[in-house]
A and B are shown apart, each in its own frame.
Chain A
């Protein structure tokens, strides 16, 4: 165990594994949507760190995983943005979208 922690690559990869576990725990146990989003993002960045640590050799991280991680960060952001908007919209409609639909139908009538 000690020699694993002494190696930079496996130290960061194991930290990534711990982050995935932590995010997984939060994702199960939390109810509030923002807390779940944070947990989801911790899982994501844990996977990135795992990936980066595992592909660390000598002087740096392999460029192909680096590019994939950058892509992953942006995709995680896209999902977070949608989920955050969805959570706000759901709360605004009182968690009951049927009621809100009726509201919108009236608006549609008045638009014509």
Chain B
């Protein structure tokens, strides 16, 4: 029974991916990409990787989908959306052959992978020293904290790269169009109703992330969604991008993370945590990261400034 479910799910994932890659119109392709992301999250759930499922649903499907729809709108406004003539047949056949060969080789590599025990035991044996019950977060913020630090820096660098595309005359201005809604309309009411719940969910996700699926990235995405909702409902405009508090908010997470790492160096081990206080330091880092990730994601979606400061 569960095997039939696995097969059906894999077939659905492949079907959604085919439509996302080759769908007739661009908007439909984006919609199928989001469907594909949600199905993929279900696959991660079945594989028992709940943290990955949350990240895939929130970031892979949600934020990426919003970004793609935003880009679709931007391209439509700029007149850059007309579908060009399809490639000649021989090129399509060559691409099919090439992709088939690539997929076949990867499949062969998968089949001939030697079985191993992996690192599960090594993580489970050591995670108690970080006082974390969730092995994935023990890896993210403990054993492979370097990766996570660099990942947050990549996110910050991407925001800097997006901002570098600003037109000179609006540098430091406000991103996106202003949204005006009727103050008693459904959008404005929803914008007032949901943020408190979203805030609670975000704080809970970080807190519970120590022992159960959750964590800074998932919580940051929820906060970014709250931010976008408030902007869309016209209750509060996007901030000016040259505001100092905003920029401090963006670098707070990486700065606290790096600071904790360097403080570890003073105490003996770079990126190490003090014995007995690991969990409290990790929680402080995670809350700072959540704030920065939320701001960075929301601003990545908002894009470069469009209105003068």
User: In the complex, are the beta carbons of A63 and B135 less than 8 A apart?
Assistant: yes
User: In the complex, are the beta carbons of B52 and A10 less than 8 A apart?
Assistant: no
Measured in the bound complex, the distance between the Cα atoms of B120 and A35 in whole Å is 38
Closest to B108 in A: A17
Type the 1/0 row for A53-75, where 1 means its CB is closer than 8 Å to any CB of B: 11111011111111111110111
Measured in the bound complex, the distance between the Cα atoms of B21 and A30 in whole Å is 8
Q: Is the interface of B mostly helix, strand, loop or mixed?
A: helix
Closest to A81 in B: B300
User: In the complex, are the beta carbons of B155 and A39 less than 8 A apart?
Assistant: no
Type the 1/0 row for A13-57, where 1 means its CB is closer than 8 Å to any CB of B: 111111111111110111111110111011001101110111111
Chain B residues with Cβ under 8 A from A84's Cβ?
67-68, 70-71, 74
User: In the complex, are the beta carbons of A70 and B47 less than 8 A apart?
Assistant: no
User: In the complex, are the beta carbons of B22 and A17 less than 8 A apart?
Assistant: no
User: In the complex, are the beta carbons of B40 and A37 less than 8 A apart?
Assistant: no
Measured in the bound complex, the distance between the Cα atoms of B157 and A86 in whole Å is 15
> B98, B123, B140: which contacts A28 (Cβ < 8 A)?
B98
Chain B residues with Cβ under 8 A from A24's Cβ?
98-99, 102-103
B161 to chain A, nearest CB (A): 5
> B17, B147, B159, B301: which contacts A67 (Cβ < 8 A)?
B147
- Interface status of B14 (Cβ within 8 A of chain A): yes
User: In the complex, are the beta carbons of B30 and A34 less than 8 A apart?
Assistant: yes
User: In the complex, are the beta carbons of A77 and B63 less than 8 A apart?
Assistant: yes
> A57, A67, A92, A111: which contacts B118 (Cβ < 8 A)?
A57
User: In the complex, are the beta carbons of A82 and B158 less than 8 A apart?
Assistant: yes
> B6, B21, B167: which contacts A26 (Cβ < 8 A)?
B21
Measured in the bound complex, the distance between the Cα atoms of B37 and A18 in whole Å is 16
Interface residues of B, count at CB 8 A: 93
User: In the complex, are the beta carbons of B21 and A107 less than 8 A apart?
Assistant: no
With A81-B158, A85-B303, A107-B169 already in contact, the answer to whether A60 and B13 are too (CB < 8 A) is no
User: In the complex, are the beta carbons of B155 and A66 less than 8 A apart?
Assistant: no
| Residue among A54, A59, A91 having the largest count of chain B Cβ atoms under 10 Å | A91
Chain B residues with Cβ under 8 A from A103's Cβ?
167
User: In the complex, are the beta carbons of A29 and B95 less than 8 A apart?
Assistant: yes
Closest to A9 in B: B47
User: In the complex, are the beta carbons of A32 and B26 less than 8 A apart?
Assistant: yes
Chain B residues with Cβ under 8 A from A31's Cβ?
84, 87
Looking at the complex, which of B54-62, B196-204, B278-286 is the stretch in contact with chain A?
A: B54-62
Q: List 29 A-B contacts (CB under 8 A).
A: A12-B6, A13-B110, A17-B103, A18-B103, A20-B106, A28-B99, A29-B87, A34-B26, A34-B72, A35-B21, A42-B36, A49-B40, A52-B49, A53-B47, A61-B49, A62-B120, A64-B118, A64-B123, A66-B139, A69-B49, A69-B52, A70-B140, A73-B60, A76-B64, A84-B74, A88-B78, A92-B78, A103-B167, A108-B168
Using a CB–CB cutoff of 8 Å, the interface residues on chain B facing chain A are 3, 6-7, 10, 13-14, 17-18, 20-22, 26, 29-30, 33, 36-37, 40, 43-44, 46-49, 51-52, 55-56, 59-60, 63-64, 67-68, 70-72, 74-75, 78-81, 83-84, 87, 91-92, 95-96, 98-100, 102-104, 106-107, 110-111, 113, 117-120, 123, 135-136, 138-140, 143-144, 147-148, 151, 154-155, 157-159, 161-162, 165, 167-169, 217, 297, 300-301, 303-304
By Cβ-Cβ distance, the 8 closest A-B pairs, closest first, are A91-B80, A21-B103, A60-B48, A26-B21, A78-B158, A88-B74, A84-B71, A25-B99
